[in-house]
């Protein structure tokens, strides 16, 4: 059951604490979930770090119990961005708490096929870089599907992989992620409940989601070796992890939907000891979070009241001020009306709360020091190009801090084009032909022999960085900022040349802290988008949060506004402020986005769940937010940006 707590576990207190926290903010009573609604035990916690601690603590407890009993703990492990936090916490526990892995055996879920072990895309390399090389596990106890197995031997190899798991006594604890299609491991739609380790063909959606890691969908392998559904269900205990808004729909489908061969994760409903660990964003579509009043008595705090009345307005297709007693009663919201006396009183309160969120130029900051932190050299204009223009007009002192170079998101053909420009410029005697010739020869030679996904040489990385810097400067000039407003921080964590980055470290934090202390901002804007497919937004926010904790900026903490836009938008009920944009302001914002030519038409990392160009997403989301307010019966605006002020 979703609300049960396993009392025998040392982490039970932490799990209960997770259940007792609201998916929005602060403590609140979690509604009782009717039997059968949530068919997998599910914990909704504040953030991905909390998930990492809970799962790592459970693994550590199991390892220590097995070690004390003289037994081997057998772990089933997954790859991808979601479990990295768990692995980092296990590494910390090994180094600081003495957790030993001498008597641990591991079996990984899957591996692309074919895939050399030394490839930067191999799960073999991923696991050794992100876990095994940093703990004391014995190499002979590590098992990862071999992507180099000759095709004629794959079936036999898969049988032997199953035998090895059985010989180890079965998997004690299995970690899983969940794909957009609901796949676990690489068990794509159509995988049966009795499937075992085998070679599979990857679904088109899975390959699209992986395109960022391979620098293009065309380079993603079409096959993989994966444990089967039955192999996974044989594990004694299973933890499945999900983070980010883009996972919310499939989480609800897996937890509340019927078992379906098209959604492999639903088979976990048959497992006696599976726990789904999700952050607030990934759990947002669960009934107990999205519409808790439908399943149990709730405490009608203001935030819940606003969310519920917006939902009711959408369900009935009525403006808020036109909602009736019958509307509330038919949608199990009579208690809300009873609290305030009449439907008109509830309607009026919510209408006024939403109206007060709207902030035009006259209500925005004036003559203040402001830093806009932009994870990539386009997030600023994509997500807040409209408000930037208004802040310029309000004569604020604005700094745009680009935290990473974004150089991995530049196509090689753009490099060739700019190098050709330099060669032609040199040919006209405007720059030194000798230096340009040497650079061109080096770059052309590398690009000619470059393999798909290969890390660029420093010269190419620098050219890609410079391309994005020039585009960023042009973008902010479009909204009225001077060239000198751009600051390129080039945080070290990003400078791997690969999609997968290092953890945020002291050097990253120090760079951000130095800027904060130099500028002394009264207000900062920070990316609050957890759906970034390669996690850079989340990591950049971590660097800012840690720098703010360390910094003594005039003894005050600047007000922090969180923006979204590249991948998602804040829903109206969550937004603290809604900033209207005129038709001209939205057009100017889109023109600023167009300055990022390397990301135009076909960006390298558009995100697998939205194929539109960034400017198309922006136009639809900003107009959509305004249209939603109009449908609710509030003032009609052309477009709107949404922001959350962090508490």
Would you please indicate which residues are annotated as catalytic (active-site) residues? 188
- The strand pair at 486-488 and 397-402 is best described as parallel
Q: Residue 382: CB partners within 8 Å, gap ≥ 6?
A: 565, 566, 593, 614, 615, 618
Question: Concatenated DSSP letters for 165-211?
Answer: HHHTTS-SEEEE---TT--BTTB-TT--TT--SEEEEPPHHHHHHTT
Whether residue 521 contacts residue 548, with contact meaning beta carbons closer than 8 Å, is answered with no
Element (H, E) at 604: none
Distance from first CA to last CA of the chain, Å, rounded? 33
Is the peptide bond prior to 609 cis by the omega test (within 30 degrees of 0)? no
Please choose, from the candidates 6, 73, 14, 3, the residue with its C-alpha nearest in 3D space to the C-alpha of residue 42: 3
Strand ranges (E), 233-314: 237-242, 274-279
180 burial via Cβ count (<10 Å: 0-12, 13-18, 19+): middle
- Dihedral angle over CA of 231, 236, 239, 240, nearest 10: 30
* Calpha distance 2→36 (Å, rounded): 9
Question: Concatenated DSSP letters for 400-417?
Answer: EEE-S--GGGS-HHHHHH
Structure tokens at 114: 């074919």
């Amino acid at each position: 059951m979703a609300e049960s707590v396993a009392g025998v576990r040392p982490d039970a207190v932490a799990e209960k604490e997770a259940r007792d926290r609201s998916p929005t903010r602060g403590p609140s009573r979690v509604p009782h979930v009717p039997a059968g609604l949530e068919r997998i035990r599910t914990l909704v916690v504040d953030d991905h770090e909390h998930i990492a601690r809970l799962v790592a603590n459970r693994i550590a407890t199991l390892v220590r119990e097995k070690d004390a009993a003289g037994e081997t703990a057998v772990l089933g492990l997954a790859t991808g961005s979601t479990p990295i936090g768990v692995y980092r916490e296990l590494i910390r526990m090994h180094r600081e708490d003495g957790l030993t892995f001498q008597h641990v055996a591991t079996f990984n879920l899957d591996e692309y096929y074919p895939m050399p072990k030394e490839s930067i895309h191999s799960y073999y390399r991923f696991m050794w870089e992100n876990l095994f090389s940093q703990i004391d596990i014995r190499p002979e106890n590590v098992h990862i599907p071999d992507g180099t197995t000759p095709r004629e031997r794959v079936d036999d190899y898969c049988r032997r992989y199953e035998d090895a798991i059985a010989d180890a006594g079965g998997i004690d604890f299995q970690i899983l992620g969940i794909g957009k299609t609901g796949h676990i491991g690489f068990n794509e739609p159509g995988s049966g409940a009795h499937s075992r380790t085998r070679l599979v063909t990857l679904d088109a959606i899975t390959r699209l989601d992986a395109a960022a890691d391979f620098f293009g969908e065309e380079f993603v392998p079409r096959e993989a070796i994966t444990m089967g559904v039955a192999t996974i269900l044989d594990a004694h205990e299973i933890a499945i992890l999900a983070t980010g808004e883009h996972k919310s729909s499939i989480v609800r489908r897996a937890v509340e939907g019927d078992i379906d061969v098209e959604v492999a994760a639903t088979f976990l409903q048959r497992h006696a000891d599976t726990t789904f660990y999700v952050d607030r964003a990934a759990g947002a579509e669960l009934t107990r979070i999205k519409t808790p009043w439908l399943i149990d008595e709730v405490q009608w705090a203001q935030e819940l009241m606003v969310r519920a009345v917006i939902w009711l307005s959408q369900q009935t297709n009525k403006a808020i001020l036109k909602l009736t007693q019958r509307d509330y009663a038919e949608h199990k919201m009579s208690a809300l009306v009873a609290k305030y006396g009449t439907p008109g009183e509830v309607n009026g309160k919510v209408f006024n709360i939403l109206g007060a969120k709207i902030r035009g130029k006259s209500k925005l900051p004036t003559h203040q020091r402001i830093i806009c932190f932009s994870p990539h050299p386009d997030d600023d204009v994509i997500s807040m190009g409209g408000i930037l223009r208004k802040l310029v007009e309000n004569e604020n002192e604005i700094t745009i801090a680009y935290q990473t170079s974004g150089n991995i998101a530049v196509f090689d053909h753009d490099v060739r084009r700019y190098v050709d420009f330099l060669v032609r410029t040199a040919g006209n005697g405007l720059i030194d032909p000798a230096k340009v010739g040497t650079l061109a020869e080096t770059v052309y030679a590398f690009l000619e022999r470059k393999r798909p996904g290969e890390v660029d040489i420093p010269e190419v990385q620098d050219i890609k960085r410079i391309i994005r810097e020039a585009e960023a400067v042009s973008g902010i000039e479009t909204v009225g900022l001077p060239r000198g407003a751009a600051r390129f921080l080039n945080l070290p964590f990003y400078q791997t040349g690969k999609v997968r980055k290092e953890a945020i470290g002291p050097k990253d934090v120090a760079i951000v802290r130095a800027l904060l202390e130099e500028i002394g901002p009264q207000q900062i804007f920070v990316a609050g988008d957890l759906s970034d497919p390669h996690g850079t937004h989340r990591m950049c926010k971590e660097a800012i949060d840690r720098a703010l904790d360390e910094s003594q900026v005039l003894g005050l903490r600047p007000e922090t506004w969180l923006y979204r836009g590249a991948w998602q938008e804040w829903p109206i009920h969550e937004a603290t402020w809604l900033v209207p944009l005129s038709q001209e302001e939205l057009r100017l914002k889109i023109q600023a986005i167009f300055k990022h030519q390397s990301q135009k038409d076909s960006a390298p990392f558009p995100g697998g769940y939205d194929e539109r160009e960034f400017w198309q997403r922006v136009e639809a989301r900003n107009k959509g937010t305004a249209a939603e307010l109009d449908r609710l019966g509030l003032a009609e605006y052309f477009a709107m940006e949404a922001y959350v002020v962090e508490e």
